[in-house]
Amino acid sequence: MKKTIHLLLLIFIVSSASMAQNSKNVTIADLDAATFKQKVWNFDKDKAFNRIGNLPIILDFHATWCRPCKMLAPHLQVIQNKYNGKLIIYRIDVDQEPQLAKLFNVQAMPTIIFMGSKNKFKTELGYREYNDLELLVQNYFFSK
């Protein structure tokens, strides 16, 4: 009986460690104007919107003092983890990068920009529950 309990305990510990390794968060990068030009769109070179790369991009325009932004952040992290390698999420602090906020006409936070094509993007304003955010991701990027 003791051996069975020890064996079950060992299996539980090993499986918990394995699950913890597999559930590491994928980093969501913070962008400034320079890295934005390298990774998303060089607006000095291309005046018309023409994004870089092929993977869908989500831009999270936020502020450190914004409570809805703080509530949205864990949902975006789950989305980034779930779609790792299939989309990229970047964060932009509007107080640190007002030029980028102005470029996308961001006037309230959170503002989420969905970039699925090379020359078009969709803007969503305000906090979203995870299920709503997941639906937006599916509709903008993965529906056929």
How far apart, in whole angstroms, are the C-alpha atoms of residue 91 and residue 143? 24
Q: Which of 31, 69, 112, 113 is catalytic?
A: 69
Per-residue three-class SS string for 9-29 = HHHHHHHHHHHHHHCCCCCCE
**Is 69 in the active site?**
yes
**Is 101 in the active site?**
no
Q: Which of 40, 58, 59, 66 is catalytic?
A: 66
| Residue 7 CB-density burial (10 A; 0-12 exposed, 13-18 middle, 19+ buried) | exposed
How far apart, in whole angstroms, are the C-alpha atoms of residue 115 and residue 126? 17
Which positions are catalytic? 66, 69
